[in-house]
Structure 1
């Protein structure tokens, strides 16, 4: 049994969370050691010691919170920033000279870790919010901030916003990479299925077609149907494995096998919608590049082509050949459906519309009219019929 491709996603954020965890521990140790070696400079060392004890316990207890994005909740971020702001505002109470000197605050550079958590978790907007609160707290703590204070505040503000922006770009790149890997894995799986189908189902259908044609009679009809299914299956394999909803009936009952792609949010490739119509009696010619239209417009145009083929099978006879030609122009998309049937007698369309048969009036012209396009039918008795469907890109995009 063949092994399926599995996409392994790597988070670009995880190294940042690890670095933040280490940063918080190291800066907590730095703040404590700074107090130990300069405690004689504090007028109220007990205030500083009490806050630093809380800071140490909080840092160690919340290490799992900054291990990943799931643990770093909004409630935690608010509490963490509150501790940092409280430490800044308590600094003058523990050391009155802090307002007249550019000394360190109680949490020192540990405060930057709290702001970085906002940046990694929520991007540059969250980082800007947190760093602005820290800036206000530092200005209040200084009373009359000096130039160095303003420089430090500006540095934290710019650095945190820059890191937040880089995180957002990294997340977008990660999503793009993951999508590319998924597409690559799906392509490999499609190729594997195509090989399996080619080695089994398609060969069996081809053999049934050859043997049925050789035997004649009812076996020849069975061979013909096997040949049509072989062509349809080859078209499906070549076009890729896409999600489709379908309504199918046997052609002997006068209906077309219709396969329609489920619409996506983005533009739809018209070729993938029309390719399933190809068969032993329907030739499909397409451009080499995708023919992109809004999903609704592409679906309506494909349905109009299906209605035209219904008319070919219903009125041109079971042996009639049909051709589908897709032309992709900058300002419009043109799809032509032509057959080699007996053609339509003059006045027959008006008579059919008067009898309530609205296949051409509604299924074809009505659909194109709703798209802002046109459907032109040219038929010469004895020379077949040609239906030209035109969809302007500008009007189709408004659908």
Structure 2
């Protein structure tokens, strides 16, 4: 805390113990303990400290993305999984992130999910869960229904929307790299229906059903793409399944590039792409080998891509970015067909109307902007927001 003073003597008071004297001396060298301003003189009166082992993401209390996942009846070809309940899990994780018992912003119950009894193998990176004390629960849980997937800090939480109690039933932790985005494909035929993108640039595809039926806090049976930044170390800002794309998905990164992956391919081979000659222009480059994954790179813009969304028919792909531009591409032709600039600042989110005729964007301009694909222009603004618009969803009734 800084307080105004007429004294020319600077005094420094700290609340640190003598055991952290070395750390304090380093901190003091970075803090200006005394300075002058037009309204007076200031001196450092006290310093707020925190435990040295507390990581920055432990302060996170904001849900960065929400995905509604609709699990259908389990295909007959998938193995039978026996669920069991673990008494340790999401309450402790919630308490670590949100403080107390996790009830400040969200209410959490104990239990991390369900246990998988059959073993499986994958030619991709595989993650196993830890074991705990198990108790039998309703076998219908995790088989089908609606689930809410959201991330806070370094954890992805899953809630059962079929239950009157909306507390999370599963917590997936990712260690030193925070999950940033996720997407769900209800039409996935191989069970791998959940995409998760991390701040490190790594991307995982996994089975939501399998995660719910496993008692651990780590992903199980996951496919790993862009492992350790093999393609790009830039933050993965948005992921999306290609509609009717037979397992293809796209991942947008903070370096302005979008990569197209095929879920059925290993993330191996020559994944390098030609050098981008002009960073101000849209360009597409394809992988040099048919075994490579990703199979193509789209250079969208110089700044970060914040959100990508397909129209329901999969014909068009909309992107918004840090530069404030909406860009709409004909996905199959790999061509830019429409674009527009925000009223002010960056665009953070976008959504299609169900009929594909309109696009909604939101961002730092504190507005919801409605763009017409037919007229290629803005047709309406939604005012009334007092801060940035970061998430949108259109409803069934047409605009």
Greater percentage in helix: 1
Per the shorter chain, which TM-score range?
under 0.3
- With normalisation by structure 2, the TM-score equals 0.26
| Bigger Rg over Cα | 1
